[in-house]
């Protein structure tokens, strides 16, 4: 398997960031299937579009804010049943996992692994859907509810939601979860919204990013697209602001390459990963 283009370390122990693919969509009920292909395609697109060959030499394209090198190791792909073992290895070695799914239910298992070390983290959850269904559990529409034992709800936040079910609205109110919609971003501006996010989250922050939080005009290749999403540049702005405060991990979920248009969504996911890695302040 080919690595993501920014992987510059061949040794796990010396890495600061570890990229892990989890090509599993076994808990998805989406009409669009194919998110299991995302870890392969995102890596491939990162190499095709974020590197350049000139005079026989390959160079990598970095974010404009690049200031210092980061040590990045690509672990390859793992099965869902390996999450506890692999993430325990990453977390206990004080490395930051960057995970590529797969369906969003994978996030719950990653957060459970984090709970063994950090007890509870602040969850920044980017998604068009709240994923706060409680009448059915252990699938891609109940991720937030299933993750409640592993997160501090008071310092967590949902960003990009715009199509909640009544049950989810009730659960958001019950648990007093902070929510930022795309309409809030449009009305208040991305800088003010970033300040609100930074004022909510704690010191141990995990980012879970469902690509459908972004408007399908920018990210058409997702499993459940919803109009009126966040602009891609605003999403990057918010991610960079959070990363500069410091994170313990991140995942990118629900890219569906078979429904993409000229790999726009896979390339966007690739760029999101690079911006977060090179913006993250290591503690």
- 62-118: pLDDT as tens digits: 998 887 889 999 999 999 999 999 999 999 999 999 999 999 999 999 999 999 998
Give the C-alpha separation, 99 to 129, whole Å: 20
> CB neighbours (10 Å) of residue 57?
7
What is the pLDDT at residue 1? 60
The alpha carbon dihedral of 141, 147, 149, 151 has a sign of negative
Strand partners, 122: 205
DSSP strands (E only) in 68-196: 72-77, 96-101, 122-126, 157-159, 178-180
- What are the structural domain ranges in the chain? 12-279
Give the C-alpha separation, 100 to 251, whole Å: 6
- 129-151: pLDDT as tens digits: 999 999 999 999 999 999 999 99
- 167-193: pLDDT as tens digits: 999 999 999 999 999 999 999 999 999
Asked if the model's pLDDT at residue 4 lies above 90, the reply is: yes
Q: Are 244 and 277 in contact (CB under 8 A)?
A: no
Which pTM does this prediction carry?
0.97
Q: Are 223 and 212 in contact (CB under 8 A)?
A: yes
Q: Which CATH class is domain 12-279?
A: alpha beta
């Amino acid at each position: 398997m080919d690595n993501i283009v920014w992987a510059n370390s061949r040794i796990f122990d010396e890495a600061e960031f570890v990229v892990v693919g989890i090509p599993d969509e076994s808990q998805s009920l989406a009409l669009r299937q194919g998110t299991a292909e995302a870890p392969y395609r995102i890596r491939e697109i990162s190499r095709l579009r974020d590197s350049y060959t000139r005079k026989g030499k390959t160079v990598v394209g970095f974010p404009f804010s690049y200031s210092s090198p980061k040590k990045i190791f690509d672990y390859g792909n793992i099965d869902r049943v390996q999450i506890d073992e692999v993430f325990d290895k990453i977390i206990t070695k004080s490395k930051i996992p960057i995970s590529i799914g797969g369906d969003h239910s994978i996030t719950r298992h990653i957060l459970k692994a984090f709970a063994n070390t950090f007890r509870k983290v602040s969850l920044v959850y980017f998604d068009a859907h709240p994923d706060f269904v409680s009448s059915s559990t252990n699938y891609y529409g109940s991720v937030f509810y299933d993750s409640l034992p592993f997160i501090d709800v008071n310092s967590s936040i949902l960003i990009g939601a715009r199509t909640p079910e009544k049950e989810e609205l009730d659960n958001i109110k019950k648990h007093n979860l902070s929510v930022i919609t795309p309409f809030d971003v449009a009305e208040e501006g991305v800088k003010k919204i970033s300040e609100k996010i930074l004022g909510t989250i704690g010191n141990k922050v995990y980012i879970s990013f469902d690509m459908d939080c972004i408007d399908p005009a920018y990210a058409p290749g997702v499993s459940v697209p919803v109009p009126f999403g966040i602009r891609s540049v605003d999403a990057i702005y918010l991610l960079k602001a959070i990363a500069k405060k410091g994170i313990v991990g991140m995942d990118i979920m629900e890219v569906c390459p078979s429904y993409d248009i000229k790999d726009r969504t896979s390339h966007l996911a690739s760029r999101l990963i690079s911006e977060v890695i090179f913006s993250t302040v290591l503690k």
